[in-house]
Structure 1
C-alpha cells in the first residue's frame, strides 16, 4: 500500500481521542453552525441512496451507517479507510451487521476478488485528500471496480471555491488546510460536475452551505 506524506497527514488526525469528539465537533457543531450543512441533510441522502449491499469509504466513527435506514434487515456492509482507528471504532459501532473491513488507500488500486457492492458512499473524504479535486476523484475510478453495473455512488465534500463561507468558516478551513488536515483550496463544483458527467449516465450535485452533496449512477 502506497501512502504519501500528504495522504498520511489527511488521516493521521483521527486518533481514538479525536474520534471520541468527532460526532460532537464535526457532525453537530461544525456541520450546523460553520459549514451550514446540518448532518440530518447528509443522513437523508444516505437513507435515500444506501442499498443493503453497501460499502462506506472514509468511515469516520460509523455514524451514518449506525443511524441510516437500510432497505433490508439483511445487510452486507463493507468499511474502507486508511486509518485503523476509524475502522476499529466504526466496526464496533455497527458490529450488528458483521462488517467487512478494508484498510486501503483509495488513491491506490482496490483489493481484487471482492464481490461488488450495489452502493458506495464517500462522505467528507475528498477534502482530506491531497491535490486538485479533479485529481482526487480518481478514487471513484478505483472504487468503480467494486461497484455493480447498476450501482450508485454518493457522498459529500467541503468545497472551497464557489460557495459562501462565513468568516469563521474561512478561518477554520484555512487552519485545517495549513495543518494538512484538509487539502481543498482549489476544490470546486465544476471539477466535480465534469468528472461525474464523464463517468456516469446520471448524476446530481446539490450545494448546501459549504458542502457539495453528490450522487451518480449507471457507469458509462
Structure 2
C-alpha cells in the first residue's frame, strides 16, 4: 500500500519546502525562531525529550533530527523510527543519527494517514514543531493524534510542541511572522488555539498535560484511546 496515497496538495507543498539547501540552515533558523519569535527556547523542548525518551521511539516530522541527536537515551542501543513526508529530512536525520551510532528506520508518511509502522509498539512518540504545519483545524488534526495513539504501547507517552494562534501570548513580531508563514503555506494554524489542542489530545488520550512557553504549547499525553479498527487490525 502507498503510504502517501490521499495526501493533500497543501500537505505536500508544505513538506516540499525542506530541500537540502533549507535543511543546511534549518537548525539555526529554528533556534532563532524558537528563542526570539515564539519564545520557547530549544532547551525547553530538549528537556521534553530528555524526560520522555524510551528505547523504542518514533519521531514524526523529523526536520534535521536535532533533538534526536542531542537528547539522552535511556538505553545504549535505542531503536529509533522516523516518519516524514520529505525524503530529504529523513535522509539528513538518518545520516546524523548514524554518526551517533544509531541506525534508524525511515518511513515516508503523513501524520494525517494511518502511520506506516507497527501498531501498539512505541513506548515514546514525538511530534515537535509539526502540528502548526499540518493543514486543517484541530478537529481534523485530531485525527493525527488518533493515528499516533494506535501505534503506541499501552504504557507509552506522546509528547511535542506547536505554535498556536490563540490562547497563548503573542508579540507584534510573532504575529507578523505567523501571518507571513500562513501566506506562504508554511503554517496552517490560523484556527489553532489552546482549548482546541487540549480537547483534540483528550479525544485520543486518557491523561493529557499541556503547558505554554511563549506562543507555543508543549504537551505530554498517556493512555492511548485507540480506534476500534486498531483492535481489529491487531487481532489479524
Give the TM-score taking structure 1 as reference length.
0.96
Structure 1 position 11, deviation (Å)? 1.2
Q: What whole-Å deviation, never above 9, does each CA across 1:180-218 have from its counterpart, x for those lacking one?
A: 110000101111111222322211001000110011001
Match of 1:139 in 2: 144
For 1:102 and 1:115, how far apart are their aligned partners in 2?
A: 17
Q: Secondary structure at the match of 1:216?
A: strand
Match of 2:229 in 1: none
For 1:197 and 1:115, how far apart are their aligned partners in 2?
A: 18
For 1:114 and 1:98, how far apart are their aligned partners in 2?
A: 21
Match of 2:204 in 1: 199
For 1:195 and 1:181, how far apart are their aligned partners in 2?
A: 22
Q: Unaligned 5+ residue runs, structure 1? A: none
Q: Is the aligned partner of 1:160 residue 2:165?
A: yes
Q: What whole-Å deviation, never above 9, does each CA across 1:53-106 have from its counterpart, x for those lacking one?
A: 100000000000000001111201001100000000000000121100111011
- Residue of 47, 54, 68 corresponding to 2:57: 54
Q: Could you list the runs of 4 or more consecutive aligned residues of structure 1 that deviate by over 4 angstroms after TM superposition? A: 112-115
Mapping for residues 96-111 of structure 1, pairs under 5 Å: 96-111=101-116
Structure 1 position 113, deviation (Å)? 4.5
Match of 1:185 in 2: 190
For 1:30 and 1:21, how far apart are their aligned partners in 2?
A: 12
Give the TM-score taking structure 2 as reference length.
0.89
Q: CA RMSD in A?
A: 1.3
Match of 2:68 in 1: 65
Q: Is the aligned partner of 1:11 residue 2:41?
A: no
Contact 2:149–2:204 (8 Å) recurs in 1? no
Q: Unaligned 5+ residue runs, structure 2? A: 226-236
